[in-house]
Structure 1
């Protein structure tokens, strides 16, 4: 099972070519006791670390647009990221972002009834970035747990919050189960004081309770290109 998961991740990753996607250099089976995927070293680390160390000069909104463009590329290739959050976004030497950690990614299939791309998966990942339909699928119009482009868009809204606060969604709530119940009931984190009206409008749209009402990532890119 672990070998299959590793091969799946490698196959998805090796085909990706985009300036905001972390490239795969190759596979190493000699340095450690198991197979490893090898990518370039990112000296700035995660985007959260980069922003902590470079505030107030770093511009989170510029990075947010780059994240949207990287996610847009994945969706254009029929790939759902599946675990989009600050810890899985790196900053390169030229101080632009690289989307990373495609362990929950997969080629997905079109769902003609929902008008989205979808894939089934286990429930690995962080619940704080989960869209409502990932919490109780049948309550929100899904037959089963499935990560989709729409759930990626919800997570993108959470990433926007992270970059402006330096904290995960509902950082004031210690228990993840309480967070899950809040999201199920339609509650969302408060607006950060540093976030513009235009970006907050995008975030609230991305957080729509029903996945059918969330904008596609290409629509978000168009809006952000004009707003930011």
Structure 2
């Protein structure tokens, strides 16, 4: 295979393996040690070939031109390589490049890894429990546990469906890699509950958002919840992911009262440009730093967010919302254009240091 085009070789390799595994099952040799050793060696060869593709702009462009079954084979293969950790031990930025290529190919070809789809979701509520800017949340059951189904909302005609599907693919692929105690777990993708829609599935958080939780239970242990939010945010950054929409309504509380960062519809990789980030943004203007409203005036060529939303989230959780940020969202953007920033409240230091 070495002499063949590397992209073609990658596309075909998954099909070859499927046929081989089916044949080995028929012959009753699936657990044969020689077969397992050969498959392990093949995994290493595929990983080396994939590194060659990721390291070449020409090959990456060829990957992004794949369609139909070829695109599906390649998406499944990249997902499998990442799942197995076959890229470990190399360039620290190489895995990030692989993840970015997977997201781009998925969006360009309208395909998702087959391994992300789950079956057996049942007990779907007739009406949505919550509704957000981009989607609705339904309650259902999966493997005996309550789960939440996030269905992307569609208002546009068919011309807008492709962009909505791209948004779904990007969110699912970014979210599925995030595994941390204070990040909402990704369970999978359900294609059965709504015939015309895909849904992202996650555990049901019965206490709702942190704002609802605090309104019902007071500020007891609020500092512990804020510490969990900070830990979750630090984890995202360690995974080269920027949340992009951090606010109280996107932080959920589980049965044991722990905070979980949720809703990755506006998340981006940390090496995304400011233009890329703002093109995906919407719905949280008051939490966006000045460099996201007007990156050129801030002298930023690349996305260098300043954690503007983190202190605002702390403010909201502590019920100290800056009055300067009360105007309409278009007014907020105009204020930042004039280099305005909210004044620091006199109680700021005492608020941050108390307890």
Q: Residues 186-209 of structure 1, C-alpha deviation per residue, up to 9 Å, x if partnerless?
A: 33165385x653727xxxxxxxxx
- The answer to whether the 8 Å contact 2:289/2:309 transfers is yes
The yes-or-no answer on 1:52 pairing with 2:215 is yes
Equivalents in 2 of 1:105, 1:134: separation in Å?
14
- The answer to whether the 8 Å contact 1:135/1:180 transfers is yes
Q: 1:88 aligns with which of 243, 247, 250?
A: 250
Q: Secondary structure at the match of 1:90?
A: strand
Q: 1:66 aligns with which of 213, 228, 237?
A: 228
Q: Residues 67-115 of structure 1, C-alpha deviation per residue, up to 9 Å, x if partnerless?
A: 110000000000010110111000111101000000011223288xxxx
Q: TM-score, normalised by structure 2?
A: 0.48
Q: 1:75 aligns with which of 233, 237, 243?
A: 237
Q: Secondary structure at the match of 2:178?
A: coil
Equivalents in 2 of 1:120, 1:81: separation in Å?
14
Gaps of 5+ in 2: 1-162
Q: 1:162 aligns with which of 306, 316, 319?
A: 316
Please give the root-mean-square deviation of Cα atoms over the aligned residues, in Å: 2.6
Q: Residues 175-224 of structure 1, C-alpha deviation per residue, up to 9 Å, x if partnerless?
A: 2222233344333165385x653727xxxxxxxxxxxxxxxxxxxxxxxx
Equivalents in 1 of 2:254, 2:234: separation in Å?
19
- The answer to whether the 8 Å contact 1:161/1:192 transfers is no
Residue in 1 aligned with 2:198? 35
Equivalents in 2 of 1:171, 1:78: separation in Å?
32
- The answer to whether the 8 Å contact 1:108/1:119 transfers is no
Equivalents in 2 of 1:21, 1:45: separation in Å?
14
Larger radius of gyration between Structure 1 and Structure 2:
2
1:14/1:30 CA distance change after superposition, 3 Å: same
Q: How does 1:1-228 map to 2 (within 5 A)?
A: 1-32=163-194, 33-56=196-219, 58-109=220-271, 120-121=276-277, 122=279, 123-143=281-301, 146=303, 148=304, 150-151=305-306, 153-165=307-319, 169-170=322-323, 173-184=326-337, 185-188=339-342, 191=345, 197=350, 199=352
Q: Count how many residue pairs are aligned between Structure 1 and Structure 2.
A: 189
- The answer to whether the 8 Å contact 2:325/2:332 transfers is no
Q: Secondary structure at the match of 2:189?
A: strand
Equivalents in 2 of 1:54, 1:98: separation in Å?
17
1:37/1:170 CA distance change after superposition, 3 Å: farther
- The answer to whether the 8 Å contact 1:106/1:119 transfers is no
Shift of 1:38: 0.4
Q: Secondary structure at the match of 1:19?
A: coil
Equivalents in 1 of 2:327, 2:297: separation in Å?
25
1:189/1:47 CA distance change after superposition, 3 Å: farther
Q: TM-score, normalised by structure 1?
A: 0.73
- The answer to whether the 8 Å contact 2:324/2:342 transfers is no
Structure with higher RCO (Cα < 8 A, 6+ apart): 1
